[in-house]
Structure 1
Amino acid sequence: MSDTDGKKTLGVRGPRSGSVKQSFSHGRTKNVVVETKRKRVVTPKPAAPKTSDGGGSKPVGGDPRKRPAGITDAELERRMKALTAAKAREADEARAREADEKSRAEERERRRAEIEQKEAEEREREEALKAKAEEDAKRLRDEQAARAKPAAPQPTPADVEAKAQKSAKPAPNRSDRDTRDQDARTAKPKGADDKRRSGKLTVNQALTGGEGGRQRSMASMKRQQERARKKAMGQSQDREKVTRDVQLPEAIVVSELANRMGEKVSNVVKSLMQSGMMVTQTQTIDADTAELIIEEFGHRVVRVSDADVEQVIEQTEDTPEKLTDRAPIITIMGHVDHGKTSILDAIRNARVTAGEAGGITQHIGAYQVTSESGMPLTFLDTPGHAAFTSMRARGAQVTDIVVLVVAADDAVMPQTIEAINHAKAAKVPMIVAINKIDKHEANADKVRTDLLQHEVIVEKLSGDVQDVEVSAKTGKGLDSLLESIALQSEILELKANPNRSASGAVIEAKLDVGRGPVATVLVQNGTLRQGDIFVVGEQWGKVRALENDRGERVKEAGPSVPVEVLGLNGTPEAGDVLNVVETEAQAREIAEYRQKAAKDKRAAAGAATTLEQMMAKAKADEDVAELPILVKADVQGSAEAIVQAMEKIGNDEVRVRVLHYGVGAITETDVGLAEASNAPIIGFNVRANASARNTANQKGVEIRYYSVIYNLVDDVTAAASGLLSAEVRETFIGYAEIREVFKVSKVGNVAGCLVTEGVARRSAGVRLLRDNVVVHEGTLKTLKRFKDEVNEVISGQECGMAFENYEDIRKGDVIEIFTREEVERTL
């Protein structure tokens, strides 16, 4: 038996080399050569079976002498199991990788097959189209050749003789004739080399045709062949002149004129230059010059005015059969704090007041509610403060019914009278809601009596105006109020046509940071839908989204429905009319015309003054102190109301000047304007952005924020009062009579006086009276009692007085002594 029997030979296990296939995106793969170094693994011998003689057994794992030191049987068994599990896991991972690689390869093959199939189908389609085009072209050439071939004329005797002489000439040999035929067959048609693509494919070639590019259409090929046929037959190729009706406004750009005539811009510019006008295509020419050019090109002139662009939004009257019932629009009006919003809260079961600063309404809110009878009602809640007169006026212009809210404990107030006047001017029916009837001091009869002074006679006093006693707090009388509104709307028979282009009024407009310009629109006629193109005032837009009064997105809004419209290109004015048009071009043209008209109107208003008027105004402005301010508000209505309130602050000496007002956040541009004008910035329910805040801090511009208009008006009034010159008040303190005049060296004339009334003080002002006529007013240079300087001399004592820079004093003159006091004035 050899020494190696039953034992493994000792060897060195070196690194094993192999390759790994890596997969990348877009189907790319790469083979990488790797080396794997294996660790030496000690495999214990299997344990010997137990003996039957009870003498014990060998330990698990073989002979302990051949096992690594410190390894127990349990540890060795655990290691063996872990090794087996690791090998099984590696095998599973390898199988998973192989399956994944196989599926990826199959997917790549499938995609490659699909692409090849599509390319083959595309080539077949292109070859079929090319073959068809060649066949059509060949057939067309044959037809043209057949038409162009002239009929054979009858031979004349001269022709017969010439033919006989020609036949007598020697015939050319066969080889020459064959050469000429071969040249004719191999000759390439003219222009064939020009159309062959050479070199790289350029963008121009790809767009105009050629291999791999766009193919010429059949119509283009037919036109080319028709031109070639006419040229060969000697016919004229001039096309028939198209005469157009050219709409000509008061002024037109040269390029637009050429577009309307259908002529080349270069030809129009050339014609103008020949007429002596050196212009370019971007310059504007007047209507008379344009008319000459149009007639020169052979077109007809149709004169139009700029205002004709608005003819597309002229509304036609609806026939009675197209009209359907619509919800009434109710405006709630009244004095501040008389409970207008609270009544609407009770009707809507919401808390509108909680969202307004100071508990007062400062915006026009539009809400739609449904009564218990199922009838929809649209409410407009207008502010009651005096500053929002214009907003209440807009509310009355779009309303059907006015609900005049009067507090039973406060009776008729100034804004109540304004609301009555607005309702009468709008010629809409009125319902009087006498609120706060639950209070102990409520007196509804006093309210009815006070309304008589303003020609509002309620039904209880034998009039035609409905009156309802309500309490927003307890809910008393609200059902009666809704019944009165429903009855009044039935009498009015309100109808509209929902199946037409929408038109409506802008109740409020604002600039939202996240949504852009937003307008609250009350649809009056038609149906406003998402995607409609509209023009509103000087702005236009496309309805990007519609939101109802509850903030929900809706697809359309019919008559009498208030919605917020998103998608404007600018913030419109509150009170503007919204009209839906067909195209964006019409909307843009109308908006540009309105902007130009408004600009011309402002310029005309500024220029409509004579030189004398301007001089007088400048002289008057010199004596008036101004407080410049900038106003930025959250909505257009609030900005207008603030500006109107600012115009009322001031008098003949001081006034508030609003340099700029707008809607939206305070920007860096506003800060720059404020710095140049040394003016503060007033922010009403808006804030400055980060860059504007930093710039304002650097340049020392004051930004003040407000959310209640009372506080804003009070602060601006106080600031304007500071520009008033202080009022000087004089207080008489005494008289002194000059008894003698002394001439003192280094002092001048000194009056010896007797204080006859009051007291004489050195710090007081004095007037010198001669025969009760003031001859001098000034201050005292000295006041002496005997030889001592004193501050005060009382009545009945003698003293000496000398005037500052005045010595014409005489015996018998009277000196009036008084004090001056400056008192601050307020507006």
Structure 2
Amino acid sequence: MVDTKTPGDKKLSVPSKTLSLKPRVETGTVRQSFSHGRSKQVVVEKRGKRRIGDGPEPHAPEVTAKPAPAAPAAPSRPAPPPPRNAGSGVVLRTLTEDERSARASALADAKLREVEERRQAEEEAQRRAVREAAERAEREAAEARRKAEEERHRHEDEAKRKAETEAKKRFGEGEQPAAARPATAAPSAPAPRPGAPAARPGAPTTARPGTTTARPTATAQRPGGPAGRGPAVAAEPDEDEAPRQIRRGPGGAMRPAAAPKTTHKPGPQKERGRLTVVTALNADDVRERSIASFRRRTQRLKGHASNEPKEKLIREVTIPEAITIQELANRMSERAVDVIRMLMKQGAMHKITDVIDADTAQLIAEELGHTVKRVAASDVEEGLFDTVDDSTDTETRSPVVTVMGHVDHGKTSLLDALRHANVVSGEAGGITQHIGAYQVLSPESGKKITFIDTPGHAAFTAMRARGAKVTDIVVLVVAADDGVMPQTVEAINHAKAAGVPIIVAINKIDKPDAKPERVRTELLQHEVQVESFGGEVVDVEVSAKNKTNLDKLLEMIALQAEILDLKTNSERPAEGTVIEAKLDRGRGPVATVLVQRGTLRVGDIIVAGAEMGRVRALISDQGETVQEAGPSVPVEVLGFNGPPEAGDRLAVVENEARARQVTSYRAHQKRENAAASISGMRGSLEQMMSQLKTAGRKEFPLIVKADVQGSLEAILGSLEKLGTDEVAARILHAGVGGISESDVTLAEGFNAAIIGFSVRANKEAAAAAKRNGIEIRYYNIIYDLVDDVKKAMSGLLAPTLRETMLGNAEILEIFNISKVGKVAGCRVTDGTVERGANVRLIRDNVVVHEGKLSTLKRFKDEVKEVQSGQECGMAFENYHDMRAGDVIECYRVETIQRSL
């Protein structure tokens, strides 16, 4: 299209040459190699790197600007520059504002990119300079080491050469003529020409005979070779003449050699190898040293330091009560051989697997410079109990009250009156044989009070002691018509030992023969002084039958609890005491627990004695299932692996691993104590004498099964008290729960009796006992059990023999009667003589014979007895050496059965 507004312009003409773009990058082809000999022709591009300050781009054409002719100055504005292709005949249009702004922004972006590239190039140059400086320093250090090595080799060669010369002189080679000796020593080098470079100090010089100049060489001489035997070395020429070499031919003539090619600045060696895509693209990259190579180099440089003695490590060694030598050496980071060597110095020979005690291990560790921390197996129980509560987190808890006193003084009846229950009707024999825990709501304050009921029988001392340990207040129940009894005194002692206050409840004041004043007076004998007598012990007259003054008793308990100011933290992990434990056939091991601190929840991991478990259910004293139990709350806990022992302390642990550690330690201690008691380890002289006494006594084997741990404890204590030096009860097995077949099998093996207290044998065990003739005795009252065992053990006692004197007779004369033998004619001096009685023959106050009378005659008749003052004839069984004047003593032996 022709612009008509500019008719003076030339027309657009198209050149005949085809327009094309010059490629921006250089291309080439390479052959890419693959496995199994396969290859492929690949087109690659090589882009030139743009370097800042090195001149124009390698691919950009070099443009030289020519100065334009001067133009006359215009008054308005300067003339626009001539178009770039003005000579081509193409008319270019003027740029619009948008295009001009776009071009300006593009130029600005290009400038920014150029600045950024320049900054990156400078940073790269700095990094490269640092890296090159480090490499240069390494090369200089390597060169210095190489020079030192060359100097060392040169000195060694000179010393060797001197030694050879001295040896040759010593063996007569020195007398040979000089012409016959080979020229081994090199002639001294002449002074260098003016302008020649000075020789490097310390560098060896070599020259052949006939050469005029010698130059220093940088190559190390071959070690061990004599000087002058290496290859010919060219002399270094002057600066103004061409370099040349002089080489000796086979005939000895000297001929010039070709001059070696020299470069002013040797460049880096170019890597040779197969041309691949990777090598082609990374041709300009500088290969850096690998990490493994740097480590090897560092190891070579520091190789001499590895032989230096290492710094000894001082450790804190944890030493248990017993430890093997191998484990001790590992904990000290020492060799076990060194530990054994130290023990041998002390006179003890050990192997690496031997176990040594903690004291020996401590001596070894301290001698080696380590610090020692002693630990014991019992440390697993640290922090399990008695953690101090923060005073800011505590709150008031209910008091725990233990009811104690003599048997049949109305303890359970008083508790029933407070609880509005009837526990007495369910007790066997009308006596309490189990310890129980209940909660009562006080009508005055509305707060709960926890009561613990203890048995009053003499056999349940351990139960009363256990109740006194877990209580805050002791209510001492004394019957007004009975007064202070032995178990009342025992309860007073338990309360004093526990250090808890006492409240005296004088019961049965409704009876006509009640005398409360006598009770107060008798308590003074045991240092219990009530308030009415000027003391500090509170006393309340109550009647459980008529429910008299029960509210006053509760008020006194609440007042005493307020004085004690009982507080604890209910949010911490629970701690408590096992009041009672049993094995229920339907529910498994069940433990009655009094929670003392914290809150026990369902799902907690608990430890009690040698038993552990997870709480599956909590049952209150009313039989209701609860989810948690706070402080001073008695609950039945289900979930133990086995029934714990009564009196064991319960604690909640964080995980099963800690629970397993604690229970395994306690089970181990329990087994050791049992083994020690059975084996009867040698101790003092008194213990050895007691063992001799008990070695020959008879044993009454028993297997005892009870319903709860407390009853079993009381039964075992009562049976142990029955033992004497001659007979004792041997308990083969004792446990809680019903009688099983294994108990019958055990009884059959030892011919033992089985005693069941408030339990029964299952069907299979009863059938096995009947089939094998094993006796099973069932009891519900501990009185009857102890009495029957006492009678059975009394049958094992040896009977007592008692002598009863009958009379004496004096021998007057001896008669020989045919077919009878000697017969003594006697006169009874005192008492009577009976036929068949035991007799002693006494001669000169010495017993010469003991036996029985075979014949007793009065004249010719056999008689049964002869009275005092009468004469008779007597003959002995199997004895005839009787003399006149001997005295015959007649007596009777009675057998008396003993009892415990």
TM range (shorter): 0.5 to 0.7
Report the equivalent of 1:821.
894
Q: 1:159 to 1:762 in 2, by over 3 A?
A: farther
Report the equivalent of 1:377.
449
Report the equivalent of 1:718.
791
Structure 1: how far apart are the matches of 2:810 and 2:669?
A: 75
Report the equivalent of 1:318.
389
C-alpha distance after superposition, 1:464-520 (max 9, x if no partner): 211111111111121111111111111111111112121111111222222222221
Q: Contact between 2:616 and 2:639, CA under 8 Å: does it hold in 1?
A: yes
Cα offset, 1:162, TM superposition: 11
Matches within 5 A, 1:191-270: 249-251=320-322
Choose which of 802, 807, 811 in structure 2 pairs with 1:729: 802
Q: 1:725 to 1:158 in 2, by over 3 A?
A: farther
User: Greater shift after overlay, 355-364 or 303-312?
Assistant: 303-312
Partner SS for 1:312: coil
Q: Contact between 1:522 and 1:563, CA under 8 Å: does it hold in 2?
A: yes
Partner SS for 2:407: coil
Structure 1 residue 347 corresponds to structure 2 residue 409? no
TM (norm. structure 2) is 0.61
C-alpha distance after superposition, 1:519-567 (max 9, x if no partner): 2111111111112222222222222221111221111111111111222
C-alpha distance after superposition, 1:218-241 (max 9, x if no partner): xxxxxxxxxxx97799889x9xxx
Matches within 5 A, 1:796-815: 796-815=869-888
- Give aligned-pair identity as a percent: 60
Cα offset, 1:367, TM superposition: 0.6
User: Greater shift after overlay, 812-821 or 604-613?
Assistant: 604-613
Structure 1: how far apart are the matches of 2:339 and 2:617?
A: 48
Matches within 5 A, 1:526-545: 526-545=598-617
Q: 1:519 to 1:260 in 2, by over 3 A?
A: farther
Structure 1 residue 682 corresponds to structure 2 residue 755? yes
Report the equivalent of 2:431.
360
Report the equivalent of 1:515.
587
Structure 1 residue 584 corresponds to structure 2 residue 656? yes
Q: 1:808 to 1:615 in 2, by over 3 A?
A: farther
Report the equivalent of 2:563.
491
Partner SS for 1:422: helix
Choose which of 396, 399, 421 in structure 2 pairs with 1:328: 399
Choose which of 540, 549, 572 in structure 2 pairs with 1:477: 549
Cα offset, 1:819, TM superposition: 2.5
Q: Contact between 1:312 and 1:581, CA under 8 Å: does it hold in 2?
A: no
Aligned length: 623
Q: 1:230 to 1:737 in 2, by over 3 A?
A: same
Cα offset, 1:448, TM superposition: 1.4
Structure 1 residue 761 corresponds to structure 2 residue 834? yes
Structure 2: how far apart are the matches of 1:449 and 1:287?
A: 59
Cα offset, 1:787, TM superposition: 3.1
Structure 1 residue 440 corresponds to structure 2 residue 529? no
Structure 1: how far apart are the matches of 2:341 and 2:855?
A: 93
Structure 1 residue 639 corresponds to structure 2 residue 704? no
Choose which of 672, 676, 681 in structure 1 pairs with 2:745: 672
Which amino acid is 1:823 matched to?
A: I
Structure 1: how far apart are the matches of 2:794 and 2:831?
A: 36
Report the equivalent of 2:822.
749
Structure 1 residue 454 corresponds to structure 2 residue 526? yes
Which amino acid is 1:590 matched to?
A: V
Q: 1:561 to 1:161 in 2, by over 3 A?
A: same
Structure 2: how far apart are the matches of 1:494 and 1:438?
A: 35
User: Greater shift after overlay, 813-822 or 452-461?
Assistant: 813-822
Choose which of 306, 320, 327 in structure 1 pairs with 2:377: 306
Q: Contact between 1:646 and 1:657, CA under 8 Å: does it hold in 2?
A: no
Q: Contact between 1:739 and 1:751, CA under 8 Å: does it hold in 2?
A: yes
Partner SS for 1:313: coil
Partner SS for 2:383: helix
Cα offset, 1:302, TM superposition: 5.8
C-alpha distance after superposition, 1:23-70 (max 9, x if no partner): xxxxxxxxxxxxxxxxxxxxxxxxxxxxxxxxxxxxxxxxxxxxxxxx
Report the equivalent of 2:633.
561
C-alpha distance after superposition, 1:663-692 (max 9, x if no partner): 222333333333333221221122233443
RMSD: 4.4
Cα offset, 1:710, TM superposition: 0.3
Structure 2: how far apart are the matches of 1:731 and 1:243?
A: 87
TM (norm. structure 1) is 0.66
Q: 1:540 to 1:248 in 2, by over 3 A?
A: farther
Structure 1: how far apart are the matches of 2:836 and 2:505?
A: 67
Cα offset, 1:761, TM superposition: 2.3
Partner SS for 1:486: helix
User: Greater shift after overlay, 520-529 or 588-597?
Assistant: 588-597
Choose which of 488, 502, 505 in structure 2 pairs with 1:416: 488
Structure 1 residue 338 corresponds to structure 2 residue 384? no
Cα offset, 1:344, TM superposition: 0.5
Which amino acid is 2:583 matched to?
A: L
Structure 2: how far apart are the matches of 1:435 and 1:391?
A: 22
Report the equivalent of 1:130.
none
Q: Contact between 1:437 and 1:471, CA under 8 Å: does it hold in 2?
A: yes
Report the equivalent of 2:75.
none
Structure 1: how far apart are the matches of 2:767 and 2:324?
A: 45
Structure 2: how far apart are the matches of 1:815 and 1:255?
A: 84
Q: 1:561 to 1:257 in 2, by over 3 A?
A: farther
Which amino acid is 2:526 matched to?
A: H
Partner SS for 2:855: strand
Q: 1:260 to 1:343 in 2, by over 3 A?
A: farther
C-alpha distance after superposition, 1:283-331 (max 9, x if no partner): 9898799999999xxx998653323222232543223322211111100
Report the equivalent of 2:287.
none
Q: Contact between 2:682 and 2:688, CA under 8 Å: does it hold in 1?
A: no
Q: 1:286 to 1:410 in 2, by over 3 A?
A: closer
Partner SS for 1:420: helix
Structure 2: how far apart are the matches of 1:271 and 1:158?
A: 66
C-alpha distance after superposition, 1:388-447 (max 9, x if no partner): 011101111111111111111111111111111111111111111111111122121221
Q: Contact between 1:667 and 1:688, CA under 8 Å: does it hold in 2?
A: yes
Higher-Rg structure is 2
Cα offset, 1:659, TM superposition: 3.1
Q: Contact between 1:626 and 1:657, CA under 8 Å: does it hold in 2?
A: yes
Partner SS for 1:540: strand
Structure 2: how far apart are the matches of 1:664 and 1:576?
A: 19
Q: Contact between 1:271 and 1:293, CA under 8 Å: does it hold in 2?
A: no
Structure 1: how far apart are the matches of 2:321 and 2:863?
A: 87
Report the equivalent of 2:34.
none
Structure 1: how far apart are the matches of 2:585 and 2:268?
A: 101
Q: Contact between 2:597 and 2:630, CA under 8 Å: does it hold in 1?
A: yes
User: Greater shift after overlay, 157-166 or 247-256?
Assistant: 157-166
Cα offset, 1:721, TM superposition: 1.1
Q: 1:570 to 1:744 in 2, by over 3 A?
A: same
Q: Contact between 1:732 and 1:818, CA under 8 Å: does it hold in 2?
A: yes
Cα offset, 1:822, TM superposition: 1.9
Q: 1:160 to 1:706 in 2, by over 3 A?
A: farther
Gaps of 5+ in 2: 1-126, 136-260, 281-289, 300-312, 343-348
